[in-house]
Amino acid sequence: MKAKVTAHARYIIADIDKRLYGSFLEHMGRAVYTGIYEPGHPQADDTGMRQDVLELVRELDTPICRYPGGNFVSAYNWEDGIGPKDQRPTRLDLAWRTSESNQVGIHEFADWAEKANTEMMLAVNLGSRGLDEARAFLEYVNHPGGTYWSDLRRDNGRAEPWNVKTWCLGNEMDGPWQVGHKTADQYGHLANEVAKAMRGYQKDLELVVCGSSGPGMSTYPQWESTVLEHTYENVDLISLHMYFENYEKNTAEYLALPEKLDSYIGTISGVIDFIKSKNRAKNDVKISFDEWNVWYHNRKDDMEKLSTWDWPFAPPLLEDVYNFEDVLQVGCILNTFIRRSDVVRVACIAQLVNVIAPIMTAPNGDAWRQTIFYPFQFASAHGRGTALRLDVDCAGYASDVASNVSYLDISGVHNADAGTLTFFAINRHGDEALDVDVAIDGFGTVKSVTHTLIKHDDLNAVNTQAAPNTVTPKNGDGARLDDGKLTLTLPPYSYSMFNVQL
């Protein structure tokens, strides 16, 4: 098969916010306990944090990490996670029907985030709690001293404030499963009052209001419209969530789902523009896509467990083992975010460790990279700069979510400082290779090009503790530069990254 792509220096989308490659940690399953934190592990440091996990997190280079939830936050008392550890209460977590020891709280997470080279993106509880608790949490985290909450932080061992800028106003409040679920009007009013109070303390906070938990919600997209009518002038971002499934084992339909993601983003972008005009507002609200990932491998079985188990502590939960097919899906999702980077400024893969995650651990054992680790790592490392508006000419196929899904899914990023162009390309065709003629205009002379390939003949191939390198990147030979003309070859069902040196 043949395809054509044109990249022109003047045809750009936006400068990419580095937080497009953010992450998420929730007190859920083994994400925290035996995930990032395991005192007594051979690789644990003096605070109990696993250094082997930290090394892998630093490889991913996630600039921001959302915490502590997720559904967990909607019945969470942040005060339970401060003070001497032997005096912290054990609570029942209503979201996942587990027990929470509170051995990891804001102090421990903040220390971990510093070691992981990531900023904190904190969520306040607007389910079972409200304005006063959010205001107190903000004061505890950000105020230098001389007040009750800031002095309590200092007494607990942290003299300097953390100065967290980005705050989520609750989580998935449109969901009937959420503790403290509210209507759009109820939530919009509460979120606006909380936003005003938080801004009363610190005007330059970046506040994220809850959008839809997914495009399949019955209230979508009216939820966004109503909530933004209440909050538009007092928030900066609206959160969206989406997970990707392949219960039918239909690869073509599965790999078409990012078209639904693109439509979701486009619809909410339109809602934002509508409310901005309706409210005669001057500020711009963008999108924080702060939960996304493939989630279906263990989902049904684990959902049954949740209704029967008796409040276990840090049990294995939603520990999806990702396969090679998921590499292609995650690559397409990341490409969609790059192509929508003018409106999507923050995105957080959910989650980071063990729970539907790119990193897995064994208690008192190894840590290893799942298959999806690699496309995320490549995008995070090489997808920073200016997103290009590529002109793509390629055949496609019809699916349930779109009438013409291109066999070539591709994004391009220009890093002027490094003097590079990077193309992330997925061949959605299972039988035929794609030969892609690439015209590069306005960037100067192309000096060289390298190809990194992820390819496996078995779509179900996985990385495990016993065989952690079954699916890994390798040097490819699919890039040809002849008299300034660039041709790329993508094998069937493959993920490729092409680095062009200018």
Catalytic (active-site) positions: 172, 291
Burial environment of residue 280 by CB neighbours within 10 A (0 to 12, 13 to 18, 19 or more): exposed
Q: Give the integer Cα–Cα distance in Å for 66 and 77.
A: 17
Beta strand pairing status for 391-394 and 2-8?
A: antiparallel
Burial environment of residue 466 by CB neighbours within 10 A (0 to 12, 13 to 18, 19 or more): exposed
Cα-only R_g, the chain? 23
Token representation of residue 3 = 């395809």
Look at residue 353 and give its three-state secondary structure: strand
Q: Give the integer Cα–Cα distance in Å for 478 and 475.
A: 9
Look at residue 122 and give its three-state secondary structure: strand
Closest among 234, 233, 242, 209 to 223, alpha carbons compared: 209
Closest among 159, 154, 148, 348 to 239, alpha carbons compared: 348
Look at residue 488 and give its three-state secondary structure: strand
Look at residue 385 and give its three-state secondary structure: coil
Look at residue 244 and give its three-state secondary structure: strand
End-to-end C-alpha distance for the chain, whole angstroms? 28
Q: Give the integer Cα–Cα distance in Å for 112 and 177.
A: 30
Contact between 38 and 82 under an 8 Å Cβ cutoff? The reply is: no
Contact between 471 and 354 under an 8 Å Cβ cutoff? The reply is: no
Where are the strands (E) in 188-236, listed by range? 206-210
Contact between 435 and 2 under an 8 Å Cβ cutoff? The reply is: yes
